[in-house]
Amino acid sequence: MEDTQTIKDKIELIFHELSKAQQKVANFVLKNPTFIGVHSAAEVGKEAGTSETTVIRFCYALGLEGYAQLQKEITLLVFNHSTNSTLDTYVSSKKELFNDQSLIEKAMGEDSSKIIRIAKQIDKQWFDEATRKLHEAKNIYIIGAGASQLGAHWLHFTMNILRPNVKLVATGTAELIRTLQEIDEHSVVVVISLHRYFKEPINIAKELHERGITVLAVTDSRLAPIHKYCSYAFILEQPQLSTIDLMPALISFLNVLVTGMMTNDPDYYNTQRVKYDDFQNSFIADRWS
């Protein structure tokens, strides 16, 4: 494997085909890459809550010759890719632009390139199915916590202009229980779950998914825990672990998601927009008269 990214990609690619015990190893390997290079398979198994045998089987499942090859590939990954925090990654990626006379063009150009790369990864069939579900839903509920709140608020604001019965779920209030009770099979729930993956939205998705509710997830990794509890998952993956840098692509994708929903009945959504504008204009005029 000459490409240092290949081992990470391969783990993510086969993750859902692994046994539960091997998935524990996979998660531990990706979250603790520096530990792998200096510890034995037995020690990794113990830390991952499995066994040395499971670690070896995990290596074979990846197509590796054994644990030594895993150590080599992970060491190369650590050497070539920073394991800094989200903020460290964000600041470090911007340093080379600080004194650049073309800072605006280059910085926004980088955002454009990320958006295009992510767009190419989106499954068109899933996108069409998911946006049709959004259009047909009697009610839409939107959930996002932590860094994901920004996207959740934007999506709620935009959808609320175009159609009725769109609700932003407040996870930290007493209303949550009542909201969960009212969500039914005619609803679609959109969960935005970005890195650090707050537990509450994931637990809510689990509860609703088990009840047969359509859950549409927007996340940033093939290994994000939300995958287990959704009907559709859209992965906005980027090379660096930076939720801050992901925001332009997140808003762009959510904008496309709304556009996809509107393509199911353009006349209806245009009528909704006109009604909203008319009411908003009359409300503002009355307010200041």
Torsion of CA 108, 110, 111, 116, to 10 degrees: 130
Q: Could you confirm whether domain 114-283 is CATH 2.60.40.10?
A: no
Sequential DSSP letters for 141-155: EEEE-GGGHHHHHHH
Task: Specify the pTM.
Answer: 0.70
pLDDT in tens, 184-240: 999 999 999 998 788 899 999 999 999 999 999 999 887 788 998 999 999 998 766
Shared fold status for 6-80 and 114-283: no
Domain spanning 6-80, CATH architecture = Orthogonal Bundle (1.10)
Residue 289: pLDDT band with limits 50, 70, 90 = very low
pLDDT in tens, 235-278: 998 766 667 888 999 999 999 999 999 999 999 998 988 888 77
Residue 32: pLDDT band with limits 50, 70, 90 = confident
Residue whose C-alpha is closest to residue 117's, from 245, 262, 264: 245
Average pLDDT, the chain: 85
pLDDT in tens, 73-132: 887 776 555 444 455 555 666 566 667 667 788 778 888 988 998 999 899 999 999 999
Residue 140: pLDDT band with limits 50, 70, 90 = very high
Residue 282: pLDDT band with limits 50, 70, 90 = low
How far apart (Å, rounded) are the C-alpha atoms in residues 118 and 248? 11
Phi, psi of 79 (to 5 degrees): -65, -35
Give the residue with greater pLDDT, 166 vs 6.
166
Give the Å distances, CA to CA, from 27 to 11, 12, 47, 203, 224: 9, 10, 11, 19, 10
Contact 58, 25 (CB under 8 A): yes
Share of residues in the chain with pLDDT > 90 (%): 55
Amino acid type, 164: P
In the chain, domain spans: 6-80, 114-283
How far apart (Å, rounded) are the C-alpha atoms in residues 168 and 140? 9
